[in-house]
Structure 1
Amino acid sequence: MDPDPRGGRGSPGPGRVSAMAGLLPLPAQPAGTPWPTSDWTSGDLPGHVDRSRLEAHLAHGLKDFDETHAVVVVQGGRLLVERYGPEHGPDATCLSWSMAKSLTHALFGIAVGDGLLDIQAPAPVPEWRTPGDPRGAINTDQLLRMSSGLKFDEVYEPGKASDTIEMMWGSGKANVAHYAASQPLAHPPGTFFSYSSGTTNILCRILSDALGRRGADFGDFMRERLFEPLGMRTPIPKFDPAGTFIGSSFCFASARDFARFGLLYLRDGVWDGRRLLPEGWVDYARTPTFQQAGVTDGRYGAHWWLDLGGPGSFSANGHEGQFTVVAPDLDLVAVRHGRTSTEKKDAVKAWVGDLVGLFRG
């Protein structure tokens, strides 16, 4: 059973949701540890962490995956590890690629908490309103879980048909959500998992419509409700000409700011005593989605991937090796940015998982 993340009477609190879904509890900010709204407080490595192994692992990561721009590890709310590649540092903005999908999940949660959206209702998509259109049965939960059934070829290889490339740089670039929403059904809604950047851009337009905000005005919403409360000062979101946030792929930010975002999810959507995401929304993100046999990229929740940093962890993953990993059992967030070739994508993903594992001793 999926938790009801809509809030209000009758929805389970976070403890009940975690118990129902078999999720690890999310740790609270340790007493006496400042929230990093203004700046990060540094900390010492735990005694059980093998420092020589960690340093060797970091050196390998900085050297052997084409370009590594940043590596940051936060544990117990304190900054323990920070390394940067050439021409990068604490304030440098880094690629997000699909880590922006998890930012979209947070923005959607804010609107759900405000009572503007119901994820179990049919998705309000203009292209699907013709009577008898089977796409009209798609609900927003299925979009968040990449289970809408829409055809969309998520391909990045030159010479191969790619809806992703056509949407963002070809015929769909003027209105990315319209391009994605115009695709036909390939499977009945809710029966087939298919990771799709088009799905996220449809969600971003749904969110814009619910808020009545587009382009720079939508950017103000992002800053007012998410970035500024966390102390995220570097994010640069990108919008298409129709004013839709390209939440599939484009929100540049520093590694420290992505660590702040990861810490928000580690703290169950609460920041310095203020609830930013509705109760149950983080647990909803990390509750597994049905996936048919043969899916090879790993388990998925709702706009977050699962298990990269070990059982119970969840992560925002992006093209070319962008990762923000949340590990509740370790009270840890790990961030890696870079530009790593497709040939090395599995190796850098494993490297990030091993980095988290070093903190288990």
Structure 2
Amino acid sequence: MAKSENLPPLPSQPAGVGWPTTRWPDGTPGPGVARDRIDDLLDLAFADPAPDAMGETHAFLAVQGGRIVIERYWRDYTAADTFPSWSEAKSITHALIGILVREGKIDIHAPADVPEWQGQDDPRRHITLDQLLRMSSGLKFAEDYVDAGNSDVIEMLFASGKEDVAGFAASLPLEHAPGTAWSYSSGTTNIVARCAARALGKTGEDFRAFMFRELFEPIGIASAQPKFDAEGTFIGSSFCYCTARDFARFGLLYLRDGCWNGGRILPQGWADYARTPTATPPTEELGYGAHWWLGMCGPGSFSANGYQGQYTVLVPELDLILVRHGNSSDERGDEVRRWLARMADCFRPTG
């Protein structure tokens, strides 16, 4: 787990602020925070009818210094409602692999345990979990949520691949030599999720129990609703509903370097591994680490991003977490990300 020398340090939980295992401490934005600009941004996002440029924002949460400092919901949505993760689940899958690394059950630099690739002449058998986590496996996969005729992700999640999502993805050929090209792929994550199940020796309800025992329950996440396919594989690419407050708890785990209330959930260096850059094409606006996106809210920020505008953004320099859930089409995605970046800027003291 090589670490970039340029990563900003991850902040520790402030003294006197309780861990939100049972309830979130409340607070207010600190001195120098542009509260008037925050209010303007909130009024824009939560306008009813929704602003055309952004689409609907159903929930927004800001946590700074371990306390909720802003929380707002649209129409009849409340803090008790769960929201779709879509690809935020990929970062949850990253955490599950980290737990197995901590337990010595998996080696991310060894060839991935994928039965479909075990033929002696199959070049895919050299693909490592590290390459899968960095979206650099070289496997063919069309990540298109609109064109059902040319979309591996639609075929995998909703059509011929839905009974065995990892098997569907693992059956696809190489387009590039492993480790030589980056290509975002939900199929990749479902292969990773099945590797986790194979390393643990558990699927379905037994794997779900592992998720709750080792990840969710220790940090107070009670609302999680992970989904599984007919083979018992966690659909780690796309499906783990949670409340906005529980997505913030997950974000806090990474912002606190994988530690929680004196205990270590993720192995030392795992959060740094998540945010260490992977080489991406010049056309990719955001950076990418290992199943986490990079740079949305300024240098050093990293985020779990999901389809239709689901975001959990961590800004270490500000000890800040921003959670946004809503319904925003792809063409509105740039504006939602700009809105989040402007919100983060409001927490940067001026003068």
* Bin for the TM-score computed over the shorter chain: over 0.9
Q: Which residue of 2 aligns with 1:90?
A: 79
Deviation readout 1:30-55 (Å, 9 max, x if unpaired): 00000000101111211211221110
Q: How does 1:1-361 map to 2 (within 5 A)?
A: 3=2, 17=3, 20-63=4-47, 64=51, 65-294=54-283, 296-361=284-349
| CA-CA distance at 1:157 after TM superposition | 1.3
Whichever residue aligns with residue 307 of structure 1, its letter is: G
Amino acid at match of 2:345: G
Choose 248-257 or 20-29, whichever is displaced more: 20-29
TM superposition shift of 1:169: 0.6
What letter corresponds to residue 336 of structure 1 in structure 2? Answer: R
1:172 is paired with a residue of what secondary structure? coil
8 Å contact kept, 2:57–2:325: yes
Q: Match of 2:59, SS?
A: strand
Contact kept in structure 1, 2:35 and 2:346, CA below 8 Å: no
1:234-282 CA distances to partner (integer Å, 9 max, x unpaired)?
0000000000000000000000000000000000000000000000100
Q: Which amino acid aligns with 2:102?
A: G
Alpha-carbon separation, structure 1, partners of 2:63 and 2:148: 40
Cα distance in 2 for residues equivalent to 1:189 and 1:240:
27
User: Distance between the aligned counterparts of 1:275 and 1:121, measured in 2?
Assistant: 24
1: distance between equivalents of 2:35 and 2:277? 34
* Percentage identity across paired residues of the two chains: 55
Single out whichever of 270-279 and 343-352 deviates more from structure 2.
343-352
1: CA distance, partners of 2:200 / 2:297: 35
Structure 2: how far apart are the matches of 1:276 and 1:300? 23
Q: 1:179 to 1:159 in 2, by over 3 A?
A: closer
**Shift of the alpha carbon at 1:159?**
4.9
Q: Please state whether the residue corresponding to 2:61 is helix, strand or coil.
A: strand
TM-score (norm 1): 0.94
Q: What is the CA deviation profile of residues 95-151 of structure 1, one whole-angstrom value per residue up to 9, with x for unaligned ones?
A: 100000000000110001000000000111000001110101101100000000000
Answer whether contact 2:45 2:56 (CA < 8 A) is retained: no
> Do the aligned partners of 2:65 and 2:319 also contact (CA within 8 Å) in 1?
yes
Quick check: 1:320–1:340 contact (8 Å CA) kept in 2?
A: yes
User: CA RMSD, aligned part only?
Assistant: 1.0
Q: Distance in 1 between matches of 2:346 and 2:302?
A: 17
Q: Runs of 4+ in structure 1 displaced over 2 angstroms?
A: none
The residue identity in structure 2 corresponding to 1:259 is A
Q: Which runs of 5+ in 2 are unaligned?
A: none
Cα drift, residue 21 of structure 1? 2.9
AA aligned opposite 2:241: F
* CA drift at 1:164: 0.1
Alignment partners' CA distance in 1, 2:219 and 2:232: 25
Query: What TM-score do the two structures reach when normalised by structure 2?
Result: 0.96
Counterpart residue type for residue 108 of structure 1:
I
Contact kept, 8 Å, 1:154 with 1:162, in 2: the verdict is: yes
1:160 CA drift (Å): 4.5
**Mapped contact 1:21–1:287 kept (Cα < 8 A):** no
Q: Per-residue displacement from partner, 1:197-235 (whole Å, max 9, x unpaired)?
A: 000000000000111111111111110001100101100
Mapped to 1, the partners of 2:326 and 2:136 lie a distance apart of 29
SS of equivalent to 2:238: coil
C-alpha distance in structure 1 between counterparts of 2:87 and 2:342, whole Å = 21
User: Take 2:129 and 2:238, find their aligned partners in 1: how far apart are those partners?
Assistant: 19
2: CA distance, partners of 1:293 / 1:350 = 19
Are 2:148 and 2:154, in contact at CA under 8 Å, matched by a contact in 1? no
